[in-house]
Amino acid sequence: MTYFQLFLQFFLIGAFSFGGGLASMELIRQRVVAQQGWLTNSEFSDIISISEMTPGPLGINIASFVGVRIAGIPGTIISTCSYVLPSIFIVITISWIYYRYRTLKGVQGVLKGLRPAIAAMVIASALKLTCNAFWGSVDTIDLPATNLVAVAVCALMLVLLHKKKVSPVQAILCSGLIGAVVYGVTGL
């Protein structure tokens, strides 16, 4: 039953998550954490961090990590394949339509109309990740309980990414090193 549930959940996520890995994170979190209870919010955040560090698309990496966590190697194969299966069919169909009708104003209008929705999905995911990192919950903002170390690391990484143009991999490794020192050594 676990294999079927993994297949079904990641097939549905793959079918309804548009805009790439960042945009699909909230849908994956809803299915994997809220509905199925396979992971906690903290575990899901850890998987996102690991998925960001590993090569490949974020959504596929998340599906692979969740699959292996829930059902081992067969689980990772099932969740990863079921996640990409809808995309294969959708991309083939849409690419045929796009190349045939791309100059029509209606097609251009649809594409322009999708952009704000994709932006909203990315922002929703970012807000949930921020709440989990700063306050330990995706549902609660408790200012007195703010993790100031997380806020400082986030601000530092934003500056490094934007002003110093460091790569995401360098920012992730730097954040991990800071976390190892601050949380591991000092015990905060």
pTM of the model: 0.60
Token pair for 14: 């793959």
pLDDT for 56 equals 85
List C-alpha distances in Å: 83 to 21, 24, 31, 61, 101: 11, 11, 13, 10, 28
Q: Give just the sign of the alpha carbon dihedral 116, 121, 125, 127.
A: positive
The alpha carbon torsion through 109, 113, 119, 124 (nearest 10 deg) reads: -160
Domain ranges of the chain: 2-136, 147-188
For residue 53, the model assigns a pLDDT of 80
pLDDT at 23: 72
* Residue 65 pLDDT: 92
Task: For residue 174, give the amino acid letter.
Answer: C
- Phi then psi for 151, rounded to 5 degrees? -65, -45
pLDDT at 16: 86
Q: What is the longest distance spanned by two Cα atoms in the chain?
A: 61
Radius of gyration of the chain (CA): 19
pLDDT, residue 38, reads 92
Q: Give the pLDDT confidence score for residue 174 in this predicted structure.
A: 92
Going by C-beta distance under 8 Å and a sequence separation of 6 or more, which residues neighbour residue 126?
22
User: Within 10 Å of residue 21's Cβ, how many Cβ atoms?
Assistant: 21
Which pLDDT belongs to residue 2?
87
Of 80, 103, 96, nearest to 10 (Cα)?
80
pLDDT in tens, 48-79: 888 888 888 888 999 999 999 999 999 999 99
Q: How far apart are CA 82 and CA 76, in angstroms?
A: 10
Segments of the chain scoring below 70 in pLDDT: 19, 21
The token pair at 77 is: 């194969």
